[in-house]
Chains A and B, each alone.
Chain A
Amino acid sequence: MKIVVLVKHVPDAQFERHLSGPGHTVDRSESILSELDEYALEAALQISEANGGEKGGNTVIALTMGADGASNSIKKSLQIGASEGYHLSDPALAGSDAAATSLALAAAIQRIAQDGPVDLVIGGMASTDGETSLVPAQLAERLGWAYVGHAKSLDVNGATVAASREVDGFAETLEASLPAVVSVTDQINEPRYPNFKGIIAAKRKKTHPLALGDLGLEAASVGAAGSLTVLEDAQERPARTQGTIITDEGDAGIKLVEFLAAEKLI
């Protein structure tokens, strides 16, 4: 099987995150591999291993789209266990919304598939910066493949993928024929960490650079120019400040009700 994992280089949520510039784009200094994509990578590695791993003819490919720094997310994916990486980078991609991102990723996957068919694409349930969950579904639509979102378990057998999920107040099971695009939640597994062996092995693994020209895409169809939405305005919310903190002296429950009453909340 050939599995492509979508990995995104996102601002680390442990620090303050900012929008900047005329297009209000996300400031990408202090970025890391999105923690939600680690679950996707782990799911891909488990499927590969269950089918005999690399020796059994399985490959797990980490694909990212992003500026230079995003190569760090590919590097980490290789250290964790991916077999190779593809890094799509082009100045014209800056400011892409979900539509433009999925267009570029679809072209990248078609390019990867030229060297042998791709069976499955796995992504995280959302990016931790844009948080729209749109990209995997739009990618599936562009490729003409089935889409299964928010899986908390995956079962791949030859020609189909089955998944269970809990969404919108329902517990569902879904089934799709391969090739398919899947997104997974943090319920699905415990991602592994890169170990020493993995870090050494990663040095020998290949990362293939991709630019728009390699994909036959026009600059105008991606980036801010090709995006179907615009961010017109962004206002930073004042940070929350600490209010009154009391230590319970036996009457804190009563003080809590007094607070709620004063705030007209009860």
Chain B
Amino acid sequence: MAHVLAVITSPDGALKKNQRELLTLGRGLGDVSVALIGDDAAATEAATYGAAVTYTAPAAVSALGGSARAAFVAEAVSRSGADVVLLENGVAAKELAASLGVKLNAGVVTDVVSLSTDGAATKSVLAGSYTTVARARTAVAVYTVKAHAVEPSEAPVEGRTEAIDLPESAYGAAARITSREAKPATGRPDLADARIVVAGGRGVDGDFGPVEELADLLGAAVGASRVATDNGWIGHDSQVGQTGVVVSPQLYISAGISGAIQQKAGMQTAQVIVAINTDEDAPVFEIADFGIVGDLFTVLPQASEEIRRRRG
């Protein structure tokens, strides 16, 4: 049976949904412990999800780049005897995973959507055009796992914490994080995890109102094309696509977006795609399950109105 180490970064001491998923996934593979960077309070919740031991990082690690974080995790791997390391799939987690792979001579597989007990990792490549099975051939395997790999469930254990101390020299030549500010919360679901995304592009012409109204009625995240974020109509973190967020929701509603290759790269694995565009030749219609040739400023508000009417 595998011994799994889940790497969790929690500055505020609470676990996010995908971190609870990591622990739940890990439990399905074997025994789980946690390497925690951030507030030690997260250890209690980690035990609720089955982590018998939580290794806590020296405070200095929080303000350092991936290679220092990897030095801490490598020590936790050696103490726990882990042969599988699970991380989230964000930028910082991938940096950590990359460095860790070199430090431990371990194979790294990113963007994992499911992981079998024998270490076969499923992921999609080339902008969703292939589904592949990859595997690390090394004694320790490192996986960064996308949201929704499993449904999180509790399995409380008596957890304990173990502080790991490292000499300054262990951090090597890591970058220093000199300032860090959380983006203001929108109250909407996280774009990367959302089950529904309503996205707007150049066609919204600066007014995301109709997109946001429909998104809020559907409990959806708001996405955008690069043109919309470049124009400053909405923050860059809302950009969907090759150089933005890659989403795989149950439903993607594209409004006033042409469907350029880099935009499609971020959304074409959505289960259902709806497109609203005034141009009947817009490439987005080639992949839409339901397409409306029409003006988003009349179609979206009418749809919102109809949803409200049906809900009474």
Mask for A239-258, Cβ within 8 A of B = 1, else 0? 01011111110011111110
CA distance A103 to B298 in the complex (A): 56
Contact A229 B135 (CB under 8 A): yes
| B-to-A contact residues, CB < 8 Å | 65-67, 70, 90-95, 97-99, 101-103, 105-111, 120, 124-138, 172-183, 190, 196, 218, 226, 236-237, 242-243, 250-251, 261-262, 265, 268, 272-274, 276, 280, 285-295, 298-307, 310
Q: Which residues of the partner chain B approach A138 to less than 8 Å between Cβ atoms?
A: 98-99, 101-102
Given contacts A146-B173, A150-B91, A245-B291, whether A137 and B98 have CB atoms under 8 Å apart is yes
* Chain A residue with the shortest CB-CB distance to B217: A266
Instruction: Say whether A119 faces chain B, with CB atoms less than 8 Å apart.
Output: no
Contact A174 B176 (CB under 8 A): yes
A36, chain B: closest CB distance, angstroms: 7
Instruction: Say whether A176 faces chain B, with CB atoms less than 8 Å apart.
Output: yes
Contact A257 B307 (CB under 8 A): yes
Instruction: Say whether A172 faces chain B, with CB atoms less than 8 Å apart.
Output: yes
| A-to-B contact residues, CB < 8 Å | 13-14, 16-17, 19, 24, 26, 36, 97-99, 102, 125, 128-135, 137-138, 140-142, 144-150, 162, 165-177, 180, 185-187, 227-237, 240, 242-248, 251-257, 259-261, 263, 265-266
CA distance A253 to B237 in the complex (A): 28
CA distance A194 to B211 in the complex (A): 39
25 A–B contacts from the bound complex (CB under 8 Å): A13-B262, A17-B127, A19-B132, A99-B102, A133-B110, A134-B110, A144-B172, A144-B173, A174-B65, A180-B173, A228-B105, A228-B106, A229-B109, A230-B134, A234-B130, A234-B131, A240-B268, A243-B288, A244-B291, A248-B292, A251-B302, A252-B299, A253-B306, A256-B276, A265-B272
CA distance A144 to B172 in the complex (A): 7
Q: Which residues of the partner chain A approach B178 to less than 8 Å between Cβ atoms?
A: 162, 173-175
Interface centre among B70, B132, B291, B303 (most CB of A within 10 A): B303
* Closest 8 pairs (CB-CB, A-B): A253-B302, A248-B294, A228-B107, A137-B98, A243-B289, A253-B303, A167-B91, A245-B291
Contact A180 B175 (CB under 8 A): yes
Contact A99 B130 (CB under 8 A): no
Contact A232 B134 (CB under 8 A): yes
B260, chain A: closest CB distance, angstroms: 10
Given A137-B98, A247-B293, A248-B298, list of 4 further CB < 8 A pairs?
A149-B95, A171-B181, A228-B137, A235-B131
